[in-house]
Structure 1
Amino acid sequence: MGERIYLYDSTLRDGAQAQGIDFSVADKQAIAAALDAFGIDYIEGGWPGANPTDDAFFAALPATKRSKISAFGMTRRAGRSASNDPGLQDVMAPGTPAVCLVGKTWAWQVETALKVTLAENLRMIADSLAHVVAQGREAHFDAEHFFDGYKANPQYALDALKAAHEAGASWLVLCDTNGGSLPSEVRKIVATVREALPTAQLGIHCHNDTEQAVANSLAAVESGVRQIQGTINGIGERCGNANLIALIPTLMLKMGFDTGISAEQLTHIGQLSRLVDDRLNRAPNRHAAYVGASAFAHKGGLHVSAMAKDSRSYEHIDPALVGNSRLVLVSDKAGRANILSRLEQMGIDVAADDDHISDLVKAVKDSEALGYAYEDASASFELMARERLGQLPHYYDLQSFRALNECRIDGKGKRFTVAEATVKLTVAGQQVMTVAEGNGPVNALDAALRKALTPHYPQLESMHLNDYKVRILTPSEATAALTRVMIESRNDDGQTWNTLGVSHNVIDASYNALYDAITYHLMKSGAKSVG
């Protein structure tokens, strides 16, 4: 195993500065617990004294087994001693084992933003870091705007680092605060700092304003940095921070570094990524490196054919190393290799030379030409495949359905809408007719179907609709456009599946997607066909 790289997570502080993100105390506690369980070295909890949420978090610090909680703040103000600066005392108050203080290293910023002399700023840095060390805390110095400062005035930027180092700071963290540096610049400047301060431990803190935060962090590591600061999923102010979800596997699997995270823990990195997205109530990025749903998805027939011979043809690592899995997509780009590979993943045993495979390939291409998109609706594809292979269970026969919207006016003249659906079907040799209301025609249709089928298939009680999406495929036809409905369903075990329907009538498309969702759930739950 290679040299040790220390991981410093700033999701709860820097990540919280992103537009649209507002962590609750419970969010911060849950994320901190997950970071600790995963094996992150340092967790920056926030800025004590800056806002009520951070104060509440630090007032009841989580008990960590592995991670050190760090409090963030700034160096003392001009004209005050470190022991008599209210802001610095707020940062010290929670008693965290680590404290990270940010200080100016760009001479122009010192004179224009702080409006103090260059010499006074150096004293502010030294006094503040010395105070942290004197209190028995591990001191980290965030050298703000270091790369911009170095480019403008190399000597002063180095003097700021030396002031913190001589005051006893354990880590000197070089910050690309504006996110505008290039990897070549970072690599060269970090190498110069290493020569100037050979005994200092260096860190890197990059922002993603030019989509190079990960590249800049890795360039810094190549030049001797041994601490990386970043956030989960790269969230942060403006364009975000260096993404630890991309950095950690790269450091371990590509560069051979020891991050303190075991191979087994690395398989849970996708769960950590999704936990933060869940807390933010946003959909995960399916194209995220390593952990995204599409990170190891293969669509082109040529690719899949080569993958069948050797997965290294189109995969840079084994997906299992990061807890992910290969996904073979079925679309109009598919060939026999895609279909056979996807059927194998679904547990459908069929010979490679089976005539049904050619029929299935043609059916997929024809359906996608009409607007179907099986790559995002694998449940509907599996049902189609099983039907053509003679393996699809049959659960009921639809005779008719009707969905109505009725606009009503109450006694006070207020308008409201009621949806009603009627379903006629045959199940277990019995003709059944049910009527149900809903907040819309699709909701009413779903309720009517369940009302008719649940007495015969109680498994439907554990099926829930997660999401419902409508895509207009021919917008030039306006309200007569061809529509595609995609439904995401889940069961009580948390398993999800996607189904779809296409029609010029949105209710008809919705029924087709509902039919597939119900049939797939019954099939996977082992329901026996009753006709």
Structure 2
Amino acid sequence: MSVTDPHRLYIQDVTMRDGMHALRHTMSLATVQAIASALDQTGVDALEVTHGDGLSGSSFNYGFGSCSDLEWIAAAADAVKTARVTVLLVPGIGLASDLVDAYAAGARSVRIATHCTEADVSRQHIVVARDLGYDTACFLMMSHMADPEQLLEQARLMESYGAECVYVVDSAGAMLPEDVDARVRALRQGLKPETEVGIHTHENLHHGIANAIAGVRAGAARVDGSLAGLGAGAGNAPIEAMIAVFDRMGIETGCDFVRLAAVADDVVRPLMDRPVRVDRESLMLGYAGVYSSFLRHAEKAAADHGVPAGEILVELGKRKMVGGQEDMIVDVALDLLKN
């Protein structure tokens, strides 16, 4: 629950991390400061800022960032008074040493993310994060690819390493509310009472907010969203609309949805070079169960090789490609072209 009130939800904004995918990781330091300052005044508990693929994600494979992670983190930390600055770390992309540098730059919360069946690779990073004093949560990405019992086994591993919260993460935006309910409920019932459960959703099937609600009803204490839905694929649950819905439901968040809506429209929407929305390609992500951040890579491969992006995404789904396999997108495009 919230660090200030244990009886209300903990609201985590991901505009400056998941949203980086939609902007090809090109957010300026001035924009980061403006968004961070505005979010801090809306009452969110935490705001995440790194390359879209987390610490050290800037690379040929994932896309180079316009600034370094440490520059983005320091800019956000300088702009906030109460909200926690959060970072993402994917073992194999980011290193444990990156956590030391990020903490020095001002980060105080981390989400350590693995594929939903590979929690065992997170141990070293969780231990380092806890030793440094981070609020330490974990992501089970592509959670739709594991049944509730399997997901609980993986969450228990993360808990045993020291995770304070484990998230059900619908990276593909492929789950329906009943899918979220089953997975969040399994974690909530199977983990220690003091270990929180979180929910991270995407809009690819237009269920981002509905799935966030399902997660909360099943016992999730932490909920992710982004301004104007800025994020990979069709985007994340739009935080301003999500908070408005929680207000209507009588669920305490401590956030001001009117201010959130103003920042979404005035600051974030003008940044979009491609509308973040449910359209033919982003819808295919959810339908085929494909990692949301593959969208912009698939569209580039489609333009480069003359193969429809939708066909590339469907084939990626058939091959069960997961986060970290972005280098296979061009291979798939060339295979389709050859055939």
Instruction: Output the amino acid matched with 1:140.
Output: A
Which residue is 2:81 aligned to? 65
**5+ residue gaps in structure 1?**
111-120, 286-531
Which residue is 2:47 aligned to? 43
- Asked if the contact 2:138/2:158 (under 8 Å) is kept, the reply is yes
Q: Does 1:196 align with 2:183?
A: no
The partner residue of 1:25 within 22, 26, 29 is 29
Instruction: Write out aligned runs for 1:221-260 (5 A).
Output: 221-253=216-248, 255-260=249-254
User: Any idea what the Cα deviations from partners look like across 1:269-309, whole Å, max 9, x if unmatched?
Assistant: 33122133355178999xxxxxxxxxxxxxxxxxxxxxxxx
Q: How many residues align?
A: 259
Instruction: Output the amino acid matched with 1:175.
Output: V
User: Any idea what the Cα deviations from partners look like across 1:340-395, whole Å, max 9, x if unmatched?
Assistant: xxxxxxxxxxxxxxxxxxxxxxxxxxxxxxxxxxxxxxxxxxxxxxxxxxxxxxxx
- Asked if the contact 1:74/1:88 (under 8 Å) is kept, the reply is no
Distance 2:261 2:274 in 1: 13
**5+ residue gaps in structure 2?**
59-64, 277-339
Which residue is 1:450 aligned to? none
Q: Decide whether aligned partners of structure 1 residues 85 and 193 sit closer, same or farther in structure 2, where only a CA change above 3 A counts.
A: closer
Distance 2:71 2:185 in 1: 41
Which residue is 1:507 aligned to? none
Q: Does 1:34 align with 2:45?
A: no
Q: Does 1:147 align with 2:144?
A: yes
The partner residue of 2:110 within 99, 103, 127 is 99
Distance 2:40 2:133 in 1: 22
Sequence identity percentage: 26
Instruction: Write out aligned runs for 1:83-482 (5 A).
Output: 85-106=96-117, 110=118, 121-122=119-120, 124-150=121-147, 154-155=149-150, 157-199=151-193, 200-253=195-248, 255-261=249-255, 265-277=256-268, 279-280=270-271
Distance 2:135 2:106 in 1: 11
- Asked if the contact 2:228/2:269 (under 8 Å) is kept, the reply is no
TM-score by length of 1: 0.45
Distance 1:31 1:44 in 2: 11
Q: Decide whether aligned partners of structure 1 residues 276 and 63 sit closer, same or farther in structure 2, where only a CA change above 3 A counts.
A: closer
Distance 1:20 1:169 in 2: 30
Q: Which has the higher helix share?
A: 2
- Asked if the contact 1:102/1:142 (under 8 Å) is kept, the reply is yes
- Asked if the contact 2:13/2:46 (under 8 Å) is kept, the reply is yes
- Asked if the contact 2:26/2:66 (under 8 Å) is kept, the reply is no
The partner residue of 2:17 within 10, 13, 19 is 13
| SS across alignment from 2:173 | coil
- Asked if the contact 2:17/2:49 (under 8 Å) is kept, the reply is yes
Q: Select the structure of larger CA radius of gyration.
A: 1
Q: Which has the higher strand share?
A: 1
- Asked if the contact 1:232/1:276 (under 8 Å) is kept, the reply is no
Over 4 Å off, 4+ runs: 84-93, 281-285
Distance 1:221 1:243 in 2: 16
Which residue is 1:458 aligned to? none
